[in-house]
């Protein structure tokens, strides 16, 4: 986009530079804005046709911002380029992506950062949910349809039968908990290690209201390959060191489903992404012993 397309955004005249950020799978275009005062901001751009949804997203981010943890704080949301685009302006979280910073940290430091993340997630899930935000249906039917799409796809992998059957046999274990506000994509790739060694949270565009336990399956997808101690810490702190068996039983279903369907989902991004999801699926099969167990082997490392 041409920088002048942002010219009808409030305070545009205070901007020194606008640099595109190419990271993640979001359909939003993201830009790092530097103001003339040396402040760094995050600008998210979406098509104007989804402005109503973006206003709702902004409203939810405002709820999260009141909790007090470090995050991309909302500044304003509106239309730009004569209504062609919806924009959201947020603060920029200073620091290093946690998924890259983790390699420089000790196992204990990784575990403690996981505990910090678990406490933040518990705060988010503790926000009272407005009745109008609760979906009419759970995701059970949707996930079974996604599983069917995977089964009928050309990217289906050999030896997946036990995982497929596990999802079908245990689908009713989903969403037994009261619905909560979710971050929607909570894993080290969307966390920042700040210069003060605290955690900052970014990318709330996949927020929704749903099963709190669904928030954890991306530990298997994107967390364990970065840091097992972090993943253990997130779970331990979220449950205040008393993890219920129902959590593990529910999480195993989410992991089995996501491990399989993510392969089909990645197809639109190219073979490299498909191969990455296949590798993660194989790892999950191993961690869950072909889904004959519900507590993954990596969690036992804490013992």
Q: Write down the pLDDT at residue 19.
A: 93
Average pLDDT along the chain: 94
**pLDDT-derived band at 23, boundaries 50, 70, 90:** confident
Quote the pLDDT of residue 22: 84
> Could you tell me the fold of the domain covering 3-91?
Phosphorylase Kinase; domain 1 (3.30.200)
Q: Give the C-alpha separation, 237 to 243, whole Å.
A: 9
Q: Give me the mean pLDDT over the 26-49 stretch.
A: 93
C-beta atoms surrounding 295 within 10 Å: 16
**pLDDT surpasses 90 at 26:** no
* In the predicted structure, residue 301 carries a pLDDT above the cut 80: no
Record: fold of 96-302: Aminoglycoside 3'-phosphotransferase; Chain: A, domain 2 (3.90.1200)
What integer pLDDT is reported at residue 174 of this predicted model? 96
- 11 pLDDT higher than 90: no
| pLDDT band of 4, cuts 50, 70, 90 | confident
Query: For 187-246, what is each residue's pLDDT tens digit?
Result: 999 999 999 999 999 999 999 999 999 999 999 989 999 999 999 999 999 999 999 999
- Extract the tokens encoding 216: 């954890």
pLDDT digits (tens, 9 = 90+) for 147-177: 999 999 999 999 999 999 999 999 999 999 9
Q: Which of 18-27, 112-121, 240-249, 292-301 has the lowest mean pLDDT?
A: 18-27
pLDDT value at position 148?
97
pLDDT band at 302 (very low <50, low <70, confident <90, very high): low
pLDDT score at 27: 80
Query: What are the b/e assignments for 260-274, b being 16+ CB within 10 Å?
Result: bbbbbbbeeeeeebb
For the chain, the domains span 3-91, 96-302
> CB of 253 within 8 A of CB of 174?
yes
Please, what is the Cα angle at 123 between 109 and 207, to 5 degrees? 100
Q: What is the 3-state secondary structure (H, E, C) of the chain?
A: CCHHHHCCCCCHHHEEEEEEECCCCCCCEEEEEEECCCCEEEEEEEEHHHHHHHHHHHHHHHHHHCCCCEECCEEEEEEECCCCEEEEEEECCCCEEHHHHHHHCCHHHHHHHHHHHHHHHHHHHCCCCCHHHCCCCCCHHHHHHHHHHHHCCCCCCCCCHHHHHHHHHHHHHCCCCCCEEECCCCCHHHEEECCCCCEEECCCCCCEEECHHHHHHHHHHHHCCCCHHHHHHHHHHHCCCCCCHHHHHHHHHHHHHHHHHHHHHHHHHCHHHHHHHHHHHHHHHHHCHHHCCCCCHHHHHHC
Q: What percent of the chain has pLDDT over 90?
A: 91
Which pTM does this prediction carry?
0.93
């Amino acid at each position: 986009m041409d920088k002048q397309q942002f010219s009808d955004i409030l305070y545009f005249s205070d901007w020194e530079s606008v640099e595109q950020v190419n990271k993640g799978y979001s359909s939003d275009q993201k830009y790092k804005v530097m103001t003339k005062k040396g402040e760094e901001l995050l600008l998210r751009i979406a098509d104007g046709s989804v402005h109503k949804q973006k206003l709702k997203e902004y409203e939810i981010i405002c709820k999260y911002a009141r909790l007090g943890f470090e995050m991309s704080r909302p500044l304003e949301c509106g239309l730009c380029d004569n209504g062609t685009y919806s924009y959201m302006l947020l603060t920029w979280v200073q620091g290093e992506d946690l998924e890259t910073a983790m390699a420089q940290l000790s196992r204990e430091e990784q575990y403690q950062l996981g505990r910090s993340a678990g406490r933040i997630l518990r705060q988010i899930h503790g926000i009272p949910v407005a009745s109008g935000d609760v979906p009419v249906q759970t995701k059970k039917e949707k996930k079974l349809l996604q599983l069917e799409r995977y089964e009928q796809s050309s990217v289906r992998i050999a030896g997946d039968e036990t995982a497929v059957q596990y999802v079908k046999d245990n689908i009713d274990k989903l969403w037994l908990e009261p619905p909560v506000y979710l971050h929607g994509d909570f894993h080290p790739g969307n966390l920042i290690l700040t210069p003060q060694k605290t955690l900052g949270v970014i990318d709330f565009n996949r927020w929704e209201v749903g099963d709190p336990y669904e928030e954890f399956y991306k530990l298997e997808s994107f967390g364990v390959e970065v840091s097992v101690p972090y993943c253990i810490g997130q779970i331990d702190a979220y449950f205040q060191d008393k993890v219920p068996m129902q959590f593990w039983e529910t999480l195993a279903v989410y992991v089995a489903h996501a491990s399989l369907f993510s392969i089909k989902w990645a197809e639109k991004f190219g073979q490299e992404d498909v191969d990455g999801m296949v590798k993660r699926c194989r790892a999950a099969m191993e961690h869950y012993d072909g889904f004959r167990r519900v507590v993954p082997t990596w969690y036992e490392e804490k013992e």
